[in-house]
Chains A and B, each alone.
Chain A
Amino acid sequence: GENVEQHPSTLSVQEGDSAVIKCTYSDSASNYFPWYKQELGKRPQLIIDIRSNVGEKKDQRIAVTLNKTAKHFSLHITETQPEDSAVYFCAATGGGGSYIPTFGRGTSLIVHP
């Protein structure tokens, strides 16, 4: 089955800095890569996603890049703000016709004011 590795597990930045979270996946057939944000005590919610026919996608301060050859994808947050502090999860879906998301272990992002 699919295996997703996520790094780092904790990321501490100053407000205004950029943050990058990286994930690798094992199944080359995976074709959908969502990112979820989970604030303390809340449910995970989708913030951005990318499909395997696209190399990069942006939404305001958030961007995701995908390298299919290397089987890795990354989340980039620019101009971080304290409200960006949360746990971020990457996921890979679609390998072998499966629609089951396999999640990374999560990254705790702390943005210091």
Chain B
Amino acid sequence: DAGITQSPRYKITETGRQVTLMCHQTWSHSYMFWYRQDLGHGLRLIYYSAAADITDKGEVPDGYVVSRSKTENFPLTLESATRSQTSVYFCASSDPGEAFFGQGTRLTVV
């Protein structure tokens, strides 16, 4: 399917576990982003990538790791999940210009 897809859509994990959220886009957009959405905070940038093998920190990068070995994939890893990382995570891509968002992943850390 064309577009940008995230998996899983929902995830419950325990504190201290490692979890990876996947993001795949079919447009070959150069830019990809990870945002977290929390009530009262809007969309906060975690990490972004301008091209394959180029990544950089955003506003709230602590506790997260990203990689981009291929243009189409941009996984986000929580190295040791904490309750404060309970959130809705959105991946997005752009050409640049308009950002296209994935469906989101609702992550709950218990």
Chain A interface residues (CB < 8 Å from chain B) = 6, 32, 34, 36, 42-46, 49, 89, 91, 93, 99-106
Contact = CB atoms under 8 A, between A and B. Distances in A.
B97 A44 contact: no
Main secondary structure of the interface of A (DSSP, over half): strand
A104 B35 CA distance: 13
Interface residues of B, number: 22
Give the one of B43, B50, B101 with max A CB within 10 A. B43
Given A99-B94, A101-B99, A43 B43 contact: no
Contact of B41 (A43, A44, A99, A105): A105
A44 B43 contact: yes
Nearest to B103: A43
Interface in B85-102: 90, 94, 96-99, 101-102
Given A36-B99, A43-B103, A100-B31, 17 more contacts: A32-B97, A34-B98, A34-B99, A42-B103, A44-B101, A45-B101, A49-B98, A93-B97, A99-B50, A100-B45, A101-B94, A101-B99, A102-B45, A103-B35, A103-B44, A105-B42, A106-B42
Given A34-B98, A43-B103, A44-B101, A100 B43 contact: no
Contacts of B97: 32, 93, 99
B31 A99 contact: yes
